[in-house]
Homo-oligomer: A and B are copies of this chain.
Amino acid sequence: MSPTPDLETAVAAVAARAREAAHVLAVASRATKDRALGAMADALVAATPRILAANAEDVAAARAQGTAEAIIDRLRLDEGRVAGMAEGLREVAALPDPVGEVLRGSTLANGLELRQLRVPFGVVGMIYEARPNVTADAAGICLKSGNAALLRGSSSASRSNEAIVTALRDAATVAGLPADVVQLVPGEGHDAAKVLMRARGLVDVLIPRGGAGLIRSVVEESTVPVIETGVGNCHVYVDAEADADMALDIVLNSKTHRVSVCNAAESLLVHEDIAATFLPRVVEALQQAGVTVHGDPAFTAHDGVVAATEDDYDREYLSLDISAAVVPSLEAAVDHIRRHSSGHTEAIVTESLESARRFTAAVDSAAVMVNASTRFTDGGELGFGAEIGISTQKLHARGPMGLPEMTSTKYVVTGHGHTR
């Protein structure tokens, strides 16, 4: 089914208002933007009862539809989660303003003064799934980076999102900014998202946040430039020259610290020279932590290891499962990663400088860890502050996307009558 012309008109109208708001926001001072973020945080706290009431309706409707409890948990808000959203907005206010930063500057031989400045994208569209806290996070990051936000959350969270956005919009006006710096995209279900994906010229960038299916469909269907985020089939490679204790810690932490996130490890590769001593230990430790190991024949020789299919090596489990294989060399590990990785994060555990050098040079992922858990690929952990997602594409931004990644650039060239 194609979206109706009415919906296209409605989305175009919303996008046009976002563009107008973006013009105002692009030249707003940091002080104004920070004041708006503070007002938004206060407004969320003040609106907590209304937000929780709306959320309760969403949860009841989801439950009536037989939605899985794990998804309902992501949908559910409580006082603490609303307070967390407000706190997130205050943290964004405390971060430096990326707009106006001079990235490159020089005076040319002919006297022309060249400056390359960070400027906002303009209108940023976000398409995301169940968690309503993304609504506030995205609005805050967009506002601070000078972008008007067009938000399309999941229909299951529509009442919660509506209550949150109403509070944010009111607060924006208190700070002297247009309410339209943040808007929800109208319409039901996937149709609204589809219209957003075809709104080239109206929307400058589209950022999908959610499962692999959502992201694939946005990437395939969108004519608006997309920043792909988040699918992580992350590998830990235990080199021949690894410290076995350290390797054990890193494998366990990467896999089990939090299983439902994109920077969790999904696959373990072990050099054959260390396999005889390391495999029994790592299999036992993983199993004790409740992890099912899907292994190659070297691994299935150990009790409780399930035989892996080729498909297992491509999976982002997001659960207490890990695929595992023994490799004859570092190069074989790199080859395996090239074939199966989603390009998010890979780690090597090694005491060899040469192995670390070869691995970090040859592995082409957003982040490569040496003797550290894959879980460190995170804007907060790496010190970038708030993040809107982890880009797994090579264009524009790669890895955690903070405020600077939410901007474009502009050259300003000043002369005094220069001609060629």
A residues within 8 Å of B by Cβ? 23, 26-27, 106, 108-109, 112, 114, 116, 119, 121-122, 200, 204-205, 219-220, 223, 225-227, 243, 246, 249-250, 252-254, 257, 338, 356, 360-362, 364-373, 375-377, 381-383, 393-396, 398-399, 408-420
CA distance A143 to B414 in the complex (A): 33
CA distance A136 to B353 in the complex (A): 39
Knowing A119-B364, A225-B395, the reply to whether A371 touches B411 (Cβ < 8 A) is: no
Contact at B205–A394, with CB atoms within 8 Å? yes
Knowing A223-B220, A417-B371, A419-B257, the reply to whether A360 touches B412 (Cβ < 8 A) is: yes
Contact at B243–A219, with CB atoms within 8 Å? no
- Which residues of B have CB within 8 Å of A225? 225-226, 393-395
Q: Supply 30 A–B pairs (Cβ within 8 Å), ascending by A.
A: A114-B382, A114-B383, A116-B399, A119-B364, A200-B219, A204-B394, A225-B226, A225-B394, A225-B395, A227-B395, A243-B417, A249-B417, A250-B419, A253-B420, A257-B420, A366-B410, A367-B411, A368-B413, A370-B412, A371-B416, A372-B413, A372-B415, A373-B420, A375-B419, A377-B413, A382-B413, A394-B408, A395-B396, A396-B396, A398-B411
Closest residue to A404 on the B side, CB-wise? B104
Contact at B119–A371, with CB atoms within 8 Å? no
- Which residues of B have CB within 8 Å of A243? 417
Contact at B408–A395, with CB atoms within 8 Å? yes
| Cβ contact of A376, chosen from B112, B223, B371, B409, cutoff 8 A | B112
CA distance A377 to B376 in the complex (A): 40
Q: A119: shortest Cβ distance to chain B, in Å?
A: 7
- Which residues of B have CB within 8 Å of A393? 225
Contact at B395–A395, with CB atoms within 8 Å? yes
Contact at A367–B23, with CB atoms within 8 Å? no
Contact at B382–A411, with CB atoms within 8 Å? yes
- Which residues of B have CB within 8 Å of A200? 219
